[in-house]
Structure formats: structure tokens, C-alpha cells
């Protein structure tokens, strides 16, 4: 169709039809088989009992609109992390916040950078706003500061950094994140997606709070879907400079968080004992699973999140990731295929219950030992 022709029907904006729709991890096994869902990085410990109680209490007042500013939740986050609540914005999952950032700061002609195996939502939001996605290659499945900086141009407006990264489980040290920021022009917004920050037990890691506090072009996003066990309620939060919070508040939905999410989220983040219990459980099983899977001849990318990326032999159809996926699914163990992330020879496994973790190791031991 030429530029002067009138369309015969409504036409999506630039970039929209280039998007490959996000496909969540599988959530079903075959009939009659007990399901162990290990495809979406959900916590096996579930939410805090206090969060469940707060959620149930909201059933008594469903006729009322929620607090449009999520004040109770922002206050709880601020108290827990030592932040100014005025620099916090809550959203319908961190996905909404990432989308708002792209909507407010990107337009056709702009570029935004993310790394080779970064979260698929980054590319989706960049394209949805008519901008151009720019992929920076990784080194050994790790974000590479120099590769990112080499791709910064006059058109660059945003850099997305998942730290730790999903699906690889790798992370960038605090020193490297600061080096990345120092190399960016002041008008480029660095978005640190720290969805798995609570699981990291490394001395050289930082979620990004200090960097945000000291600069005008950095934001940090977090989620309640992982360690807090509230994935069904869709709660995300962002810490950012006042001018960024102000801009996003002008375009977000007026009641973008429901009352149950606000109340349950506030209770969850205040239950530090439950958070620590979940982190400790994950730390133990992360080490155990990595050792067990490596011991049966598989390669596991060192992870600091609540999941492991398992690599299967390339060029061996009988022991491929696809064959392993089918083998495990038949037995009720549902992992995440990561072909869409450019990793066709790997599966991502969430840390599950002891029963699920042991079952996967047993099943994969049988799978790898087949003639």
C-alpha cells in the first residue's frame, strides 16, 4: 500500500506486527500424571501466611475502588528497603512498569539496547512503541559492558539490563553495572530489572538502589511474583528519580493495582522471616541441583537466581533438549524450553519442591543413560 492510499481497516502502529507474542511456560502434564510445574520460576514455598490473611480480608470490601496510589504498599516497600516512598511506583507486575518506561521514553526513530539472552518483554515493548531493538552479544551467557557500550548511538534512549538475567541465571557485578552507567550519555535511561535480586548471595552484587539514588538516569524494577510468591496478583515496583516517577504517574492507569494486591504485597514484604526462609531453601537446592545435574553429564550455567539453565548435547537427537523436554513432561515434570531466547539446546528448570527436584534428577539420570 502506498503512502497516499487509505487503509481498508485499522492499521497497528509501527513495529507492532514485528512482535512475536510472549509465550508463557507450559503448565500442564498429560492426564493422570502428577504435575510438577517448574517452568515459570515460581517459589515452591508459596506466599507468606500474613499475605494470604491480608488477601482474604479484602473480600469484605470488594465494592470499593483501591487506593490509586498504593500508599500502604509503597510505605511497606520504603520501610523494608530504606527508601523514600515518593520515589516508588507500583504496577500490575514489573511488566507493566517496563511497558510504561518504553511508552514514555521511546518513540519511532529511537533505539533501545538489551542483551542477547535478555528477557523477551524488552524487545516486545521496544517494538510496541515504534523504536528499534538493538541486541548486544553476551560473553559466556553473561551481559558484556563493552558490547553494550559499543552499540550506543545518538539514537539510543534506553538500555535494559536484567540483573540477574533470565533465563541464564548469570549476573553483572556492582562494579560492572557502575562502569556501564558511567559509559552512557546522561539522556539514556538505564533500566535495571532486578526481579531475582532477593535470591542473590554474592558479595559483589547490588540490585541498583545506590545507583538510582545518586543519578537521574537510572531506575530499578522489582517484583512480588518470585520470592514473595504472589505471581497470581501481579505486583511490581520501581525505584527511580522523581522526574521519572512523575512522568509515569501521568500515563499509568488510575487504579493499576487492585486492593488485594496492595494489602497482600504490604504483608508479604514485611514478613522478612518468610523471605529469608525462601532464600535459604533456594540456596541449598541451587547448589544441590547444579552438582547432581553436572554429575550425570549435563552442563549447567552457574546461576544466582531460583532456576538453572541446563544444556543438552548438541547434535545428538536422542539426548537433545527437545527430547528431554518430552521425556520429562511425560513424567509430570514441566520445564521451560528456551528456543525463543536463542538457546535451542537448553531447558530452564525452576527450583521446585524437594520432591520435584529429586524427581527431575532421577528422570534425567534415566534419560541420559539410555542407549
Give me the pLDDT at residue 314, please: 87
Percentage of residues in the chain with pLDDT exceeding 70?
96
* Tens-place pLDDT, residues 227-273: 999 999 999 999 999 999 999 999 999 999 999 999 999 999 999 99
pLDDT at 1: 54
CA torsion, points 235, 129, 153, 122, in degrees to nearest 10?
A: 30
pTM above 0.75, yes or no: yes
Beta bridge partners of 90: 237
Residue % of the chain over a pLDDT of 90: 89
pLDDT tier, 26 (very low <50, low <70, confident <90, very high otherwise)? low
Given a cut of 70, whether residue 2 has pLDDT beyond it is: no
SS3 content of the chain, % helix, strand, coil (to 5): 40, 15, 45
Q: What is the pLDDT of residues 157-176, one digit of tens each?
A: 999 999 999 999 999 999 99
Torsions phi, psi for 135 (to 5 deg)? -100, 125
Report the CATH number of the 16-46+273-369 domain. Answer: 3.90.1150.10
- Return the pLDDT at 7: 81
What is the average pLDDT across 112-118? 97
Query: Higher confidence at residue 357 or residue 369?
Result: 357
Give the residue among 318, 312, 300, 370 at the shortest CA–CA distance from 346: 312
pLDDT of residue 77 exceeding 70: yes
Domain extent listing, the chain: 16-46+273-369, 49-271
Mean pLDDT on 272-280: 98
Tens-place pLDDT, residues 49-72: 999 999 999 999 999 999 999 999
Condensed to tens digits (0 to 9), the pLDDT of residues 301-355 reads 999 999 999 999 988 899 999 999 999 999 999 999 999 999 999 999 999 999 9
Would you state the pLDDT for residue 371?
40
Same fold, 16-46+273-369 and 49-271: no
**Is the peptide bond prior to 164 cis by the omega test (within 30 degrees of 0)?**
yes
Q: Write out the E strands in the chain.
A: 36-37, 88-91, 111-115, 132-136, 156-162, 189-193, 218-223, 236-239, 299-301, 307-311, 333-334, 336-337, 346-350
Mean pLDDT of the chain: 95
Residue 296 has pLDDT above 80, yes or no: yes
Topology of domain 49-271 in CATH is 3.40.640
Which residues are CB-contacts of 366 (< 8 A; sequence separation ≥ 6)? none
Amino acid at each position: 500500500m502506498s503512502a497516499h492510499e487509505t487503509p481498508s481497516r485499522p492499521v497497528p502502529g509501527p513495529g507492532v506486527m514485528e512482535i512475536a507474542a510472549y509465550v508463557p511456560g507450559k503448565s500442564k502434564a498429560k492426564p493422570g500424571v502428577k504435575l510438577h510445574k517448574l517452568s515459570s520460576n515460581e517459589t515452591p514455598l508459596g506466599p507468606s501466611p500474613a499475605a494470604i490473611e491480608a488477601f482474604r480480608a479484602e473480600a469484605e470490601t470488594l465494592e470499593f475502588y483501591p487506593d490509586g496510589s498504593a500508599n500502604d504498599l509503597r510505605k511497606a516497600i520504603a520501610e523494608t528497603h530504606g527508601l523514600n516512598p515518593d520515589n516508588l511506583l507500583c504496577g500490575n507486575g514489573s511488566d507493566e512498569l517496563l511497558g510504561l518506561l518504553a511508552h514514555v521514553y521511546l518513540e519511532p526513530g529511537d533505539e533501545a539496547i538489551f542483551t542477547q539472552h535478555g528477557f523477551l518483554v524488552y524487545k516486545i515493548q521496544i517494538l510496541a512503541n515504534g523504536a528499534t531493538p538493538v541486541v548486544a552479544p553476551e560473553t559466556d551467557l553473561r551481559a558484556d559492558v563493552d558490547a553494550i557500550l559499543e552499540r550506543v548511538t545518538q539514537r539510543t534512549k534506553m538500555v535494559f539490563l536484567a540483573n540477574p538475567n533470565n533465563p541464564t541465571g548469570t549476573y553483572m557485578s556492582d562494579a560492572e553495572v557502575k562502569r556501564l552507567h558511567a559509559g552512557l550519555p546522561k539522556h539514556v535511561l538505564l533500566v535495571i530489572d532486578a526481579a531475582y535480586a532477593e535470591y542473590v548471595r554474592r558479595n559483589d552484587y547490588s540490585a541498583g538502589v545506590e545507583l538510582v539514588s545518586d543519578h537521574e538516569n537510572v531506575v530499578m524494577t522489582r517484583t512480588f511474583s518470585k520470592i514473595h510468591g504472589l505471581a497470581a496478583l501481579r505486583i511490581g515496583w520501581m525505584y527511580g528519580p522523581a522526574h521519572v516517577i512523575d512522568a509515569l504517574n501521568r500515563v499509568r492507569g488510575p487504579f493499576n493495582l487492585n486492593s488485594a494486591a496492595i494489602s497482600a504485597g504490604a504483608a508479604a514484604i514485611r514478613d522478612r522471616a518468610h523471605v529469608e526462609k525462601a532464600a535459604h531453601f533456594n540456596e541449598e537446592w541451587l547448589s544441590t541441583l547444579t552438582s547432581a545435574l553436572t554429575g550425570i553429564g549435563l552442563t549447567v550455567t552457574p546461576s544466582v537466581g531460583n532456576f538453572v539453565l541446563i544444556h543438552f548435547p548438541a547434535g545428538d537427537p536422542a539426548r537433545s533438549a527437545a527430547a528431554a523436554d518430552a521425556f520429562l513432561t511425560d513424567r509430570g515434570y514441566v520445564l521451560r524450553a528456551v528456543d525463543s531466547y536463542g538457546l535451542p539446546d537448553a531447558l530452564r528448570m525452576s527450583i521446585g519442591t524437594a520432591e520435584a527436584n529429586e524427581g527431575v534428577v532421577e528422570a534425567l539420570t534415566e534419560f541420559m543413560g539410555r542407549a
